[in-house]
Structure 1
Amino acid sequence: MSNSAPNIVALQMCSGVSAEENMQALTQALHTLPTARPLLVCLPEAFLVFSNNGAATLAMAKHSKYYQQQLSALCIQHQIWLSAGTMPEPAQNNKYYAASHLFNSQGELLASYNKIHLFDVTVADTTASYRESEFTQAGSDVVVVDSPFGKIGLSVCYDVRFSSLYTALARQGAEIILVPSAFTVVTGQAHWQPLLTARAIETQCYVVAAAQQGTHQNGRQTYGHSLIISPWGETLCELPAGIGFISATADLTQLHKIRRDMPVQSHQRFREHLL
């Protein structure tokens, strides 16, 4: 990792059912940020609202523009770039998108990624059955955005199990890949860090994973363990539990050297099967 001032922060949260309270928690956390700019702040999945059920989240989607405006104002106030984890955005057929928005330091919404892979699984925890697709509309677009930090590729949580998406992000030029998440404790203990490390190594990208952690008001339990991982697969910083942030520097000189020395993307032989 570079010895220069950190330019990426991942915030670990334990979001509740009240969007207003979650926004207050975010506002307070932003006052504790490193002072160097430019700075990219990454929030976890469902940072805005961790509802009791999909219907409540769907109702919150109707207010998405109001919260986008609040986030925009925070970016201007703190002069930060902000990856706003996910928040519900209206979709067709009485569903919502799990949308990951990227704002610049002028408060402009530069890009939005709608979570592609939906968490319809059975897990041996207190929730047991997860059916995200009941209220969530899957996205379809691969999103990479230019920034002062490098080219940013967007993804969300369960996406991390599908390596073809990350190869597609790398092929579109991604240098930093964001994975805002709310992993379950059971799956997190088994797979969280190995999956993130694999995605960093195979794409030769920085991977930034801001996570939800703790027991939430809706009864859900999330694993946490926010991580920033280098393109060589090194864990640069981590926060296993609790609320707070981690920070690191994305050193693109190091990234480009890794890619020159081991040009895995040009060696890829199965391009026709990728997204």
Structure 2
Amino acid sequence: MNVKIATAQYDISFLENWQHYQSKAERWVTEAVEQDAKILLFPEYASMELASLFGKDVYSSLSKQLAAMQSLHDDYLDVFQTLAKKYQCIVQAGSFPVRIESGAYRNRAYLFIPDGRIEYQDKLMMTRFENEQWLIQKGDQLKCFDTDYGKIAISICYDSEFPMLARKQVEAGANLILVPSCTDTLAGYNRVKIGCQARALENQCYVVQSPVVGNAPWSEAVDVNVGAAAIYTPVDYGFPDDGILAVGELNAVQWVVAEVSLSACATIREQGQVFNYRDWPLQNAF
């Protein structure tokens, strides 16, 4: 089955009010849908622009912004659930720092399905910034989601740099892994990029990256953002020779859109020049 995917190079705005945010979200979604995209990916921590709604005392404090944003959590879910239904597309809306029952925070990426379902994947591998400064805790479950286009998985930023996580997702049936990312250096962006390409190579699947881009000097959390969105593929017959189906201009604000054939993953695993997916267990012999 062929489907168009749109992956965002998304900028952090200083928001005037909640309506400004709603309008921005719908504008981004409509721009992708107008290009016939059916699966939309936004970046990690794209939601942090919501902190600007609370004033300088909040958005300049790592801890205060997390607490304040919880009051917008349900409205945030409603915005993207409504957009997914209205435009009949799957939307991975980036990630939101969610306070769980214990009082701890998790970096949670929501997946909105056109039928109204809301799924989520929590980040599992935390960066030093998240662990040491922001005090955001890791999740405890690796998931795979059923959709009309087959199974989809989410690997949040740093998670994409760990091969066993993606491996378990593709073994559960995912041929598409969505990677929302947020990196403040070119080196950080390239770490995630290399991880995405490696996961696509190893598992003979599609991996799609979406970064936050541009500067938001008002924000304590996402003040500098570097990256380019891309759709990565297996490197074999019928796919790009470099494994890059589409890539954006570094740090530009834009959608990157391309059509993928998820069924082609199964074909290449059976008929490719190499059998990376099938031969994975052979590593255990050494």
Q: Confirm or deny a common fold (TM above 0.5).
A: yes
Q: Deviations over 1:126-166 (max 9, x none)?
A: xxxx6467431210211111212221011101112211111
TM-score by length of 2: 0.81
Match in the other structure for 1:59: 68
Aligned to 2:267: 257
Query: Who is 1:118 aligned against?
Result: 126
Greater Rg over alpha carbons, structure: 2
Q: Is the 8 A contact 2:213 2:252 kept in 1?
A: yes
| Structure 1 segments unaligned to the other structure (5+ residues) | 122-129
CA spacing shift, 1:112–1:36, aligned 2, 3 Å: same
Would the aligned equivalents of 1:118 and 1:133 in 2 still touch at CA under 8 Å?
no
TM-score normalised by L of structure 1: 0.84
Q: Distance in 1 between matches of 2:254 and 2:131?
A: 29
Residue 92 of structure 1 deviates from its aligned partner by 4.3
Q: 1:157 to 1:169 in 2, by over 3 A?
A: same
- Separation in 2, partners of 1:38, 1:227: 15
- What's the CA shift for 1:223? 1.1
Alignment of 1:45-124 (within 5 A): 45-50=44-49, 51=51, 52=59, 53-109=62-118, 111-120=119-128
Contact residue 84 and residue 100 of structure 1 kept, 8 A: yes
Kept in 2: contact 1:42–1:83 (CA 8 A): yes
Percent identity of paired positions between Structure 1 and Structure 2: 22
RMSD, aligned CA: 2.6
**More helix per residue:** 2
Q: Does 1:248 align with 2:258?
A: yes
Structure 1 residue aligned with 2:24: 25
Among 244, 266, 274, which residue is 2:278 paired with? 266
Counterpart Cα distance in 1 of 2:132 and 2:207: 24
What pairs up with 1:1-275 in 2 under 5 angstroms? 7-16=4-13, 18=15, 20=18, 21-35=20-34, 39-50=38-49, 51=51, 52=59, 53-109=62-118, 111-120=119-128, 131=131, 134-188=134-188, 190-216=190-216, 217-218=218-219, 220-232=223-235, 234-239=243-248, 240-261=250-271, 262-269=274-281
Match for 2:234: what amino acid? P
Q: Distance in 1 between matches of 2:84 and 2:33?
A: 14
